[in-house]
Amino acid sequence: SNVQTDIDQIETKIDSSASTLGDRTLDNSNDIKDLLDSVRLALIVIAAVMLILTFLGFLFSIFGMQFLVYTLVIIGWILIAGTFILSGIFLLLHNVTADSCVAMNEWVLNPTAHTALDDILPCVDNATAQETLSRSKEVTSQLVDVINQVITNVSNINFSPNFAPFYYNQSGPLMPTLCTPFNSDLTDRACATGEVDLSNAIQVWRNYVCQVSSSGVCTTTGRVTPTIYNQMSAAVNVSYGLYHYGPFLVDLEDCVFVRQTFSDIYGYHCPGLQRYGEWIYVGLVLVSAAVMLSLVFWVIYGRERRHRVYTKAIMAKSAPGFEGDKNT
């Protein structure tokens, strides 16, 4: 019953940690994807509109369509204002990215300090994590002890038919016991000669399974019935999972794995994020300035074109009188 209670406690803690971590990770992932999709769409729309606006303004200016030019000028100023605002937003995102990288690095360097990341990452304290790891080791050791007791006291003893239910006509070579991975103080232990490891115990024990009759008694040579073998295999699978994946789950629980991930992000990805973020908002400022200058040049070109037309008209009207005066 103690083993079952410990298993239930470990399962509850692991399920709780995995569920909370999964929910937080999914929410953060969806938020980041939505933000990136919005940014990408905004950049595509801005680039397309600016190119179309520049091309149409240049075309209308050449053909002297002043009304359309002035209409584009009004639209252009609105777009320029929007682009400057978007540039400011990207500048804000750039600063947020830089602050996030700094916060991640500070959190990695000072895991006990309270930071904004504590509200995002559901980490537990180191004592709780170590308790979980200790309990997982205890459960693993207890399961191995139970399996070895069955092998030593039941499967490897040739009981007489009078000792039911321990008798099921077990016979043949003795089954090897299961290797206990931990000592009594829960330190790592090396397997002794004749013990089978958790990783291959199920395959080795398959050679000791007998065929049974309808009454559950072995009819062939073997040390365990298929039913007992299946129960032992299930216990070995639980022990193997706790032994191999328990430390990793504890690393997730106390955020050791997350700290390593943040260290990699800060070292390999943060410099690029800051650099490319700066390129985006600087590029938006340059595009806005270029379109603004284009609008000014459109207006200047339109006025100059209208002035030339007006000058030619005046000269055309005064040309006959000038020729008459010259002849006289």
What is the 3 state secondary structure string of 290-314?
HHHHHHHHHHHHHHHHHHHHHHHHH
**pLDDT value at 68 more than 70:** yes
Per-residue pLDDT band at 206 (split at 50, 70, 90): very high
* Chosen domain end from 253, 288, 306: 253
Tell me what the mean pLDDT of segment 265-274 comes to.
82
What is the token pair recorded at 184? 């009594």
Per-residue pLDDT band at 202 (split at 50, 70, 90): very high
Alpha-carbon distance of 164 to 218, in angstroms, equals 13
Percent over 70 (pLDDT), the chain: 78
What is the pTM (predicted TM-score) of this model?
0.49
* Whole-angstrom Cα Rg for the chain: 40
Which has more confidence, 212 or 130?
212
Which of 140, 130, 142, 145 lies closest to 240, judged by CA? 140
Alpha-carbon distance of 304 to 125, in angstroms, equals 74
Looking at the structure, do residues 59 and 116 belong to the same domain, yes or no? yes
What is the token pair recorded at 261? 């991930």
Alpha-carbon distance of 221 to 210, in angstroms, equals 6
* Chosen domain end from 221, 253, 285: 253
Which has more confidence, 83 or 195?
195
* Cα dihedral 144, 147, 153, 156 in deg (nearest 10): -110
Which has more confidence, 114 or 23?
23
In the DSSP assignment, the letter for residue 186 is: S
Looking at the structure, do residues 81 and 161 belong to the same domain, yes or no? no
User: What's the domain count of the chain?
Assistant: 2
Per-residue pLDDT band at 114 (split at 50, 70, 90): low
Alpha-carbon distance of 299 to 162, in angstroms, equals 112
83-92, 110-119, 167-176, 283-292, range with the lowest pLDDT: 110-119
pLDDT of residue 306: 67
Residue 247's alpha-carbon distances to 161, 205, 256, in angstroms, are 46, 27, 10
Looking at the structure, do residues 212 and 296 belong to the same domain, yes or no? no
**pLDDT value at 6 more than 70:** no
Tell me what the mean pLDDT of segment 219-243 comes to.
89
Looking at the structure, do residues 82 and 25 belong to the same domain, yes or no? yes
In the DSSP assignment, the letter for residue 153 is: I
Is 105 strand, coil or helix? helix
Q: Which are the contacts of 226, defined by CB distance < 8 A and separation ≥ 6?
A: 209, 212
Q: Which domain range does residue 269 map to?
A: 2-123+258-327
Looking at the structure, do residues 279 and 247 belong to the same domain, yes or no? no
Looking at the structure, do residues 30 and 71 belong to the same domain, yes or no? yes
Looking at the structure, do residues 97 and 24 belong to the same domain, yes or no? yes
Alpha-carbon distance of 6 to 134, in angstroms, equals 11
**What beta strand segments (E) does the chain contain?**
none
Looking at the structure, do residues 132 and 233 belong to the same domain, yes or no? yes
229-243, 255-269, 307-321, range with the lowest pLDDT: 307-321
Looking at the structure, do residues 204 and 238 belong to the same domain, yes or no? yes
Tell me what the mean pLDDT of segment 137-161 comes to.
90
Q: Which amino acid is at 147?
A: I
Looking at the structure, do residues 68 and 146 belong to the same domain, yes or no? no
* Chosen domain end from 218, 235, 253: 253
Looking at the structure, do residues 104 and 9 belong to the same domain, yes or no? yes
- Please answer whether residues 83 and 284 qualify as being in contact, where contact means their C-beta atoms are separated by less than 8 angstroms: yes
111-147 burial, b if ≥16 CB within 10 A, otherwise e?
beeeeebeeebebbeeeebeebbebbbbbbbbbbeeb
Looking at the structure, do residues 242 and 295 belong to the same domain, yes or no? no
